[in-house]
Structure 1
Amino acid sequence: MFKLRSSHHLIVCLTILVLCFSGGSLSAAKRPNIILIMCDDMGFSDIGCYGGEVDTPNLNQLANEGMRFTQFYNNAKCTTTRASILTGLYPRFGKGGHLRQNMVTLGEAMKVAGYQTGLSGKWHLMKTKGYAKSEVPGGWLNRYDKTTHPFFRGFDSYYGVLDGCCNFFDPTISDPPYKRAGIRSFGQDAGAVTEFPKDYYTTDAFTDHTLGMIRRYSQNEKPFFIHLCYTAPHYPLHAKPEDIKKYVGKFKMGWEQMRKDRWQRLQELGLAGKNWSLSEGDSRSYDWETANQDFEDLRMAVYAAMIDCMDQNIGRIRQTLNQTGQLDNTLIVFLSDNGGCSEEPGGRDPKVRHPGPKDDYVAVGPAWGWAQNSPFRRYKSWVHEGGISTPCIAWWPGKVPAGTINRSTAHIIDLLPTFLEIADTKYPETYQGHELLPLEGTSMLSLLKGENKTLHDSLAWYWSSNRALRQGPWKLVWDKDVKQWELYNIGDDRCEMKNLADNHPDRVQKMAQDWFTWADKVELGPKVKSK
């Protein structure tokens, strides 16, 4: 028996008893909310806190009050990155697709942990049953596979585009013939969305849905996990006139000078390490002096306006968190799904291409796409650093040390185990009767607390015949344009300037064998591996 020393002591004891009998715990009651924000096709050095010209005060504030990573990796491509973030696994390339029933999603795992869950924006992992992309809005939903639909994979609430990137102002407008993707399917929970208001803009709409979830979920005691997947600044280049106006004329320096300016700012910000240097040239870039500079400036201005609008919306999220009393108990993580994009559907003829409004479909092209990843080489779909290095910001008041830079190597497969540790739960061995693939990511919670440590002995990549393997400081790369292995010591040469393959043939051979072993594991077929 024990004596009650005061009425306050009685209240404390009764509180503990209530928690015990309700199945809760004191630690569970303090678990943070988590908001994982991912943008689409944004370069390493586009935002202000990573050396860019775009006005991003809200992201800059998150960085100044939180942590920036310099060696955080993605999978070089929209779909494969999304698969890995959701599952904590490398993407599988076999017949089963990227998302299978022997994989648990972040939505499912966090829901089991007692979190309210939601997803806004781009999904891009839905399979259909023999149904071609439709010219009818919502057409994909006629025969979707529930096992790959977000609403049936653990997310209590869903709103967004299910299959790629759509028209930002009117998602009922089909992609042009030169893109050949038809009308993208929009969904809300398990249903289709086929009508949109006149003042519609996807970046705002995805945020609106997120704000609604924050307000609704904040009324309950359970914490929430929200995954917000912006399509900005992925092409088509669509932005509001007032946002575009801020940037017209600001990119007349051209891509070569922009890269040099960003490189200088990266050094001033303390992000660039001593082993960094500005990479030179790209095989797909072209000469600024002979380009149509007004058109090129406008393309980049619209792209910048798309990022600017996204940053404004991130400010709305912080404001809503504050209004609902959730701000100080929320972890926000921001990153990009891959590097800047060199794709150019529709070409760059200024007589036929018009960046900005909803009635055209334009991209920034290879020269800007390369420059957006300064100081690194290459871009989206390639697995040099420019394709797979993402800006990554983590903000968590009182937990993530403010104004810090973490140079540890981490990967998107590490996010799921990190969030599970924060949620005080473990990765399950089975889920809904299915034996799960073993988790491949490692919790990076220690990194968020300010430690620097090695999480992986080896990391590997593949997309569109491009390959890479990193082991410690060594990185082996196969560029599909070059068609031979290159070897870099990332510890001495982060920007991959000095190919050491001829100096270390044994290392190249051993690492290549390791890559092929990994390729078997992720079900890359013999035809792919032989190229």
Structure 2
Amino acid sequence: MKRPKQAFVSSPQTTLKTLFFLALLAIISSQLAIGQSVKRPNILYILADDMGFSDIGCYGGEVNTPNLDKLAAGGIKLRSFYNNARCCPTRASLLTGQYPHTVGMGLMVTMPNAAIQPGSYQGFLDARYPTIAERLKETGYSTYMLGKWHVGERPEHWPLKRGFEHYFGLISGASSYYEIIPAEKGKRFIVLDDKEFTPPADGFYMTDAFTDYAVQYLNQQKQEQADKPFFMYLAYTAPHFPLHAYESDIAKYEKLYAQGWDVTRTKRYQKMQQLGLIDKRYQLTPRPANVPAWNSATDKAQWIRKMAVYAAMIDRMDQNIGRLIKTLKANGQYDNTLIVFMSDNGSSNENMESRKLNDPTKKIGERGSYVTYDTPWANVSVTPFRKYKRFLHEGGMITPCIMQWPRNIRPAAGYVDGIGHVMDLLPTSLELAGLSANDLPGKSLSYLWTPKKTEPRTYCWEHEGNKAIRKADWKLVKDTEDADWELYNIKTDPCETNDLARNQPQRVASMRTEFDTWAQRVGVRERPAGKSE
């Protein structure tokens, strides 16, 4: 008679050993998976300077930007992405993920010889708030910066002191694209790492030079640190004044802009409709009273030349972005690189004749010239919106925003309605690097390409006494030149043509209270005349 088979009964020791083995196997397997398929992405932020909403091809412009257009086609394009309406405040938020006042950049940079007055308008980044480079460097990222810094003029505030391992660029604001002009307001510094760099007498053009070093750093990363992810921040000065460009690029546009600003603006508006960027909610704002009809404009040849040079500067920037993309692909870095492109503020209607830096014997665009393209063409650049850089109506603070990450962002047809702000870029980067961003006012933008949901956001702005708050679909705004606060439903009236303030006084009062609470928290100060410091 056969004995029945005994069931196997494990001892407590056997069970613990088995569980330990399975747990160890799971850990090893997960680590292998991370190494093979969840490698942290490279991050590349590209910032244009003083470029309007409708200037590039995929946002309605006639300027030739095939590389940006292709980048946009391979990723997502946002309708409503905000900056801080001016160079320094935007860069401060991009670098720190904070409102600019919080980190000392409520206004502009202060000169090195100025007395330091700590606080929300001190004119350089507050060291208590880490930059994106400092945060990412701690977790193993290589960190590079090229281009315009403009958040600290003193050497102790330069990029290498704020987390970047290598830097080549312009510490200061606007500058000639060919040289350092001794007579320009304040001393301009071009810097390589932490040493002053003197441009060669011939063959130097700033947009190209920034890209030359960017390509060098990408190749260096591939050769020496291929196992590490990198963060690169490339802040072009194009198309910020002075208007400087190669004659070969300018020649592409002079005949085109003979049509004038009225026709150009109308054609942009029509193209934006054809692209699906705008719909019937976007009412083309009228030509401002201080802009003459093209038919009555004088000095047409000079006006045409100005816009042709401005377009050529954007064209050259796009060519250089093409060089970057080519390098990324050649190095095998492209597929796992998040690329974000945007502008630091709306178009600039500033006129700089008072600086007396223009040599009238030089053609506009040549070395020695120093001109701006002024209000008539700036109004074209912000199509279909109104107002410009520094102001807090949409034209001054809304920017094209392109995001591409071949490995993780599925190309989206059309344009995305999700709302974002420049200070959201740092928490986005921290999330991708596996770090917490709970202590920041901005939120990650990953909801734009993942199934995650996001709550309606509230953003606030103040610059030179201009004020705004956007809460979900509603925006309350008052520029210093405005008689009173204006209220707009941005969802139904994105061009701010129908002021609802008188119809909704309770909403105005509630939003003003929320703005005032924010302003007190971040350190907005008012002068007796009402203009902020």
TM-score class normalised by the smaller sequence: 0.7 to 0.9
Q: Does the residue aligned with 1:301 lie in a helix, a strand or coil?
A: helix
- Contact kept, 8 Å, 2:95 with 2:426, in 1: the verdict is yes
Whole-Å separation in 2 of the counterparts to 1:253 and 1:88: 42
1:275 is displaced (CA, Å) by 2.1
Q: How far 1:331 sits from its partner (Å)? A: 1.0
Matched residues in 2 for 1:471 and 1:175: separation? 45
Q: Which amino acid aligns with 2:514?
A: D
Using the TM superposition, give the Cα deviation of residue 287 of structure 1 relative to its aligned residue in structure 2, in angstroms: 3.4
**3-state SS in 2 of match to 1:459:** strand
Q: Distance in 1 between matches of 2:167 and 2:37?
A: 25
Query: Are the counterparts in 2 of residues 516 and 529 from structure 1 also a CA contact under 8 Å?
Result: no
- Do the aligned residues in 1 keep the contact of 2:343 with 2:400 (CA within 8 Å)? yes
What does residue 443 of structure 1 align with?
444
SS in 1 for 2:417: strand
1:499 correspondence with 2:509: no
Deviations, residues 484-531 of structure 1 (Å, cap 9, x unaligned): 111111111000011111111222222122222221122111327945
Which has the higher mean CA deviation after the structures are superposed, 267-276 or 333-342?
A: 267-276
Are the structure 2 counterparts of residues 400 and 287 from structure 1 closer, same or farther at C-alpha, using a change threshold of 3 Å?
A: same
**Deviation at 1:253?**
2.1
Q: Deviations over 1:324-382 (max 9, x none)?
A: 11111111110000111100101799967842011011011011112101001111011
1:403/1:355 CA distance change after superposition, 3 Å = farther
| Aligned equivalent of 1:72, options 67, 81, 85 | 81
| CA displacement 1:271-301 (0-9 Å, x = unmatched) | 1144211111324433322232111111000
Q: RMSD of aligned C-alpha atoms?
A: 2.5
Q: How big is the shift at 1:259?
A: 1.6
**3-state DSSP of counterpart to 2:340:** strand
Letter in 2 for 1:374: T
Taking a change above 3 Å as real, the CA distance of residues 31 and 282 of structure 1, as seen in their structure-2 partners, is: same
Aligned counterparts of 1:517 and 1:506: Cα–Cα separation in 2:
17
Match of 1:346 among 353, 372, 384: 353
Distance in 2 (CA, whole Å) between partners of 1:508 and 1:98 is: 34
Residues in 1 aligned to 2:279 and 2:453: alpha-carbon distance in whole angstroms: 15
SS in 1 for 2:335: helix
Whether the 8 Å CA contact 1:32–1:329 is kept in 2: the answer is yes
The code of the aligned residue for 1:367 comes to P
Contact 1:45 1:373 in 2 (8 A): yes
- C-alpha contact (below 8 Å) 1:166/1:184 kept by paired residues: yes
Provide closer, same or farther for how the CA distance between residues 286 and 466 of structure 1 changes in structure 2, counting only shifts above 3 A.
Answer: farther
> Within 2, Cα distance between the matches of 1:114 and 1:389?
33
Distance change in 2, residues 1:28/1:88 (3 Å) = farther
2:509 is paired with a residue of what secondary structure?
helix
Indicate yes or no: 2:227 matched with 1:227. Answer: no
Please give the alpha-carbon distance, in whole angstroms, between the structure 1 residues aligned to 2:304 and 2:452.
41
Output one character per residue of 1:189-232: Cα deviation in whole Å (capped at 9) or x when no partner.
11111242510001001001111111111232010000000000
2:329 to 306, 322, 331: 322
1:244 is the counterpart of 2:250: yes
Give secondary structure in 2 for the equivalent of 1:425: coil
Equivalent residue for 2:429?
419
Structure 1 residues 489, 455: closer, same or farther in 2, change over 3 A? closer
Q: Distance in 1 between matches of 2:37 and 2:435?
A: 10
Q: How does 1:393-432 map to 2 (within 5 A)?
A: 393-404=402-413, 405-427=415-437
Q: Specify which of 185, 191, 197 is matched with residue 187 of structure 1.
A: 191
* Alignment-mate amino acid for residue 98 of structure 2: L
**Is it true that 1:198 corresponds to 2:207 in the alignment?**
no
Residue 469 of structure 1 corresponds to 469
Structure 1 residue matching 2:149: 3-state secondary structure:
coil
Report which of the two structures shows the higher radius of gyration computed on alpha carbons: 2
1:477 aligned counterpart, secondary structure:
strand
Contact 1:442–1:455 under 8 Å retained in 2: no
The one-letter code of the counterpart of 2:143 is T
TM-score using structure 2 length: 0.86
The code of the aligned residue for 2:303 comes to E
TM-score normalized with structure 1 length: 0.87
In structure 2, runs of 5+ residues without a counterpart are 1-16, 19-23, 107-119
Report the Cα distance in structure 1 between the residues aligned to 2:30 and 2:426, rounded to whole angstroms.
31
Segments of 5+ residues of structure 1 without an aligned counterpart are 3-11, 129-143, 429-437
> Which residue number in structure 2 is paired with residue 107 of structure 1?
133
Identity of aligned residues (%): 41
CA-CA distance at 1:406 after TM superposition: 1.1
**1:48-90 alpha-carbon deviations (Å, 9 max, x no partner):** 0000010000000001111100000000000000000001111
Conservation of the 8 A alpha-carbon contact between 2:57 and 2:64: yes
Q: Secondary structure at 1:526's aligned position in 2?
A: coil
Number of aligned residue pairs: give it: 487
Task: After superposition, give the CA deviation of every residue in 1:112-157 in whole Å (9 maximum; x if it has no partner).
Answer: 12110000000001143xxxxxxxxxxxxxxx3x2x2111100010
CA contact (8 A) 1:203 1:231 kept: yes
Aligned to 1:525: 525
- Contact between 1:117 and 1:155, CA under 8 Å: does it hold in 2? yes
Which amino acid counterpart does residue 131 of structure 2 have in structure 1?
T
In the alignment, what sits opposite 1:216? 220
